[in-house]
Amino acid sequence: MRVVVAPDKFKGSATAAEVAAALAAGLRHGRPDLEVVELPVADGGDGTVAAALAAGFAPVVTVAEGPAGQPVETTFALKDGTAVIELADVAGLRRLPGGEPAPLTASTYGVGQVIGAALDDGATTIVLGIGGSATTDGGAGMVQALGVRLADEHGADLARGGAALGGLAVIDPGGLDGRIGAVRFLVASDVDNPLLGPSGAAAVFGPQKGAGPADVIVLDWALARWAALTRSLTGQDLAGAAGAGAAGGTGFAALAYFGARLVAGADLVLDLIGFESALAGTALVITGEGSLDAQTLGGKAPLGVTRAAGRRGVPVAVVAGQVLLTAGELTAAGFAAAYALADIEPDQAVSMARADELLGLIGRQIAASPLVT
């Protein structure tokens, strides 16, 4: 019997690969005769590159600017001309020096540098996962790094960060890397927010990055100027496009300057790692994430796994640190069974510290269940 173990990370506790390994060890302990395939997944945010690497992509290490301008070493994944880049590993919250938020000045410049490195390595398809950013610069830094010149009314180069866009006067795209036009550009995101307004990048996500009420007003106004001048340049009004507000407006810049296509992160990652092919001959899929809740139903990785498996008639069990969905919601989502670490260890701190052990125990439970016959 073939079982595919395809979980996302348990945030703050275990990576997707660690979760898969622990569950697989429990399954094999309980049923040594099982064929267990470990295939960690992601939803376009943290862990996207790791999922690609686990599926056979090659790691490429490069150095780029972090969100505060400091050099950071980052890895992208490359296979057959497809490069997978994770914004969070370049300009994410975890890349802020000392964890100190920089809502007005954090920049995506380094993301553009990594895209350039991928182009240098022959990439013809760029997949950019944009979850977990520390930035609200509308992706301006990213396009600056690839040759678009942004200047103020005096002709001086614009400083980094979202607030600086309030002084933007000139956009000169003449220096944009010519290879961009020949590249297929996909942006993996589970966010459909527009760039501006009460549902926009600054208002919704700015506070998560340290922006106070006054900062949100400054950033939204600055992003509006960026959008207006971009519209004048391109003839396209993309500020209201679904996903334009993703990653502090990085989605907007990718649409406007790279001709990108925004796609559901979980589905894109499943395509990259060959999940459909892995389902051949599979009798059970096990997926999971740290908290199974309403956000899961909005398009997180476990839902993508379940939908893909359901199309092939393969049942799916889901494992989570905590399960906050009702039995009816679980059934409607397509989960055949749900297991929670909290049912074994109700103390969340202890559960997170012992995740590997508890996941192994759940693997044994599943091996002994009617799902595995």
- Residue-wise pLDDT for 64-89, tens only, equals 999 999 999 999 999 999 999 999 99
Domains 2-40+280-367 and 48-266 share a fold: no
3-state secondary structure of 317: strand
CATH 1.10.10.10 fits 48-266, yes or no: no
Q: Which of 352, 339, 342, 308 is nearest to 23 (CA)?
A: 339
Q: pLDDT tens digits for 286-298?
A: 999 999 999 898 8
Q: How many CA within 13 A on the CB side of residue 164?
A: 19
**CATH class of residue range 2-40+280-367:** alpha beta
Residues 6+ apart with CB under 8 A from 278: 4, 6, 37, 39
pLDDT, tens digit, 9 for 90 and up, residues 85-96: 999 999 999 999
Average pLDDT over the chain reads 96
311 touches 280 (CB < 8 A) = no
**pLDDT at residue 367 tops 90:** yes
Region 298-311: mean pLDDT is 93
CB atoms within 10 A of CB 366: 22
The confidence score (pLDDT) of residue 161 equals: 98
User: Rounded distance, CA 190 to CA 193, Å?
Assistant: 10
Do residues 273 and 49 lie in contact, with contact meaning Cβ atoms separated by under 8 Å? no
**Per-residue pLDDT averaged across 326-340, rounded?**
97
CA 37 – CA 208 distance, rounded (Å) = 37
What does 49-63 look like in DSSP terms, one character per residue?
HHHHHHTTPEEEEEE
Q: What is the per-residue pLDDT for 320?
A: 97
pLDDT band at 299 (very low <50, low <70, confident <90, very high): confident
Q: State the chain's maximal CA–CA distance in angstroms.
A: 73
What residue segments make up the domains of the chain, in order of their start? Answer: 2-40+280-367, 48-266
Using one digit for the tens of pLDDT, what is the confidence trace for 180-231?
999 999 999 878 899 999 999 999 999 999 999 999 999 999 999 999 999 9
At residue 44, does pLDDT exceed 90?
no
Tell me what percent of the residues of the chain surpass a pLDDT of 90: 94
User: Which pLDDT score, from 0 to 100, does residue 189 have?
Assistant: 86
Q: Return the closest-CA partner of residue 8 out of 365, 17, 89.
A: 17
Q: Please check the confidence at residue 360 and state whether its pLDDT lies above 90.
A: yes
For range 16-27, the mean pLDDT:
97
Q: For residue range 121-174, list pLDDT tens digits in order.
A: 999 999 999 988 999 999 999 999 999 999 999 999 999 999 999 999 999 999
